[in-house]
A and B are shown apart, each in its own frame.
Chain A
């Protein structure tokens, strides 16, 4: 089972929830930090890294002695990642989405694959917890390809928890798509609510069941709760605005280790997620994860 922890707004507590949930369940859990532009779960998990892999994506390289400047490669590329200018063919690897189209249409077979480095994937673990995270190469503009590579490390069985990046754009979709449940962490502030609504919109397009964790639940106002009720979003946990929690976080400590009563609370959160998945599985409005889920409803 895959649980993706997302939020919309940044800084609401995704990593706190993802790491503490993973550690509370004791042992056989896999945690993937998919916030590959600034991963931070390792600061709390402190895993022993046992494997470091450099990840690349295929981009074109042109053998000019074979090229006839026919321009078919440039014609098929929607991203202007390869252009023919004068007597030169110019690939722009940083714009390439690795579709392979240019290689396929080249009548002279003058284009072959080379790699653009996306970043590294580090894997390891601590106390039976399996840990994987990606680190985007500095200067790399696209993070979804690396996120998908991190997710390829998802083990076939057992529980996998994903710490997603903030926002609702492509990196977040890449971190949620195909998950069995999305846990949305929010806070009772106007910004938290605004971005929560965007995140719920994205999760609903993906047709993944979801529930809320309200962090710093005793500050702000009740508008997040009112929205949750209106949108039929179950509130699965509330975390108070507690100085001890902030202190533990600032020292890179696990909440469940510093304040042990939280271990039971996170274990209870997991049981509520399981119950929610079971409930939505029998709900007739819920229809699985179709491949077309990313398309607008009227185009399916």
Chain B
């Protein structure tokens, strides 16, 4: 079953999408077909001096996701996600996790290219 990760400010589908990927509060890892989901805390990556995005990419890759929905992804995290074969949709800030998921299900998200990565870098 394909899973997606949505950066989230909290553990429920009604929480808002955390606009930051690397320093997101956590990730909702969800199977879009069954809506079965779990919340993965990203606390450790949040406080890193550097490499937060890379660590977050490792985290979502470990959960076997194939897509990430978020606000924005930095260039290094983008590289890491690409290496893991995970595609990224950015610009999903100011919506709830559920709304982001609905957009994804309608095919209304745009998959980013490396040149679109615009995060904070290190």
Contact = CB atoms under 8 A, between A and B. Distances in A.
B3 to A, nearest CB: 15
Given A80-B50, A80-B54, A81-B51, A92 B84 contact: no
A86 B80 CA distance: 10
A144 to B, nearest CB: 15
Contacts of A286: none
Given A83-B58, A85-B57, A85-B58, A90 B80 contact: yes
A280 B50 CA distance: 40
B79 A90 contact: yes
Interface string A212-224: 0000000000000
Contacts of B51: 79-81, 92, 95
A83 B51 CA distance: 10
Q: Is the interface of B mostly helix, strand, loop or mixed?
A: helix
A80 B55 contact: yes
A86 B84 CA distance: 5
Q: Which of A90, A95, A141 has the most CB of B within 10 A?
A: A90
A92 to B, nearest CB: 6
Given A85-B57, A85-B61, A95 B83 contact: no
Contacts, number: 40
B122 A83 contact: no
Chain A interface: which size bin?
10 to 19
A88 interface: yes
B91 interface: no
B85 A86 contact: yes
A172 B79 CA distance: 33
Contacts of A74: 58
B58 A95 contact: no
B50 A86 contact: no
A143 to B, nearest CB: 14
Given A80-B55, A92-B76, A94-B122, A85 B83 contact: yes
B118 interface: no
B50 A88 contact: no
B48 interface: yes
Contacts of B83: 85-86, 88, 90
Given A74-B58, A94-B122, 12 more contacts: A79-B51, A80-B54, A81-B51, A83-B54, A83-B57, A85-B80, A85-B83, A86-B83, A88-B83, A88-B84, A90-B80, A95-B51
Interface of A: 74, 79-81, 83, 85-86, 88, 90, 92, 94-95, 141
Of all A-B residue pairs in the complex, the 7 with the closest CB atoms, nearest first, are A80-B51, A85-B84, A88-B83, A80-B54, A86-B84, A85-B83, A90-B83
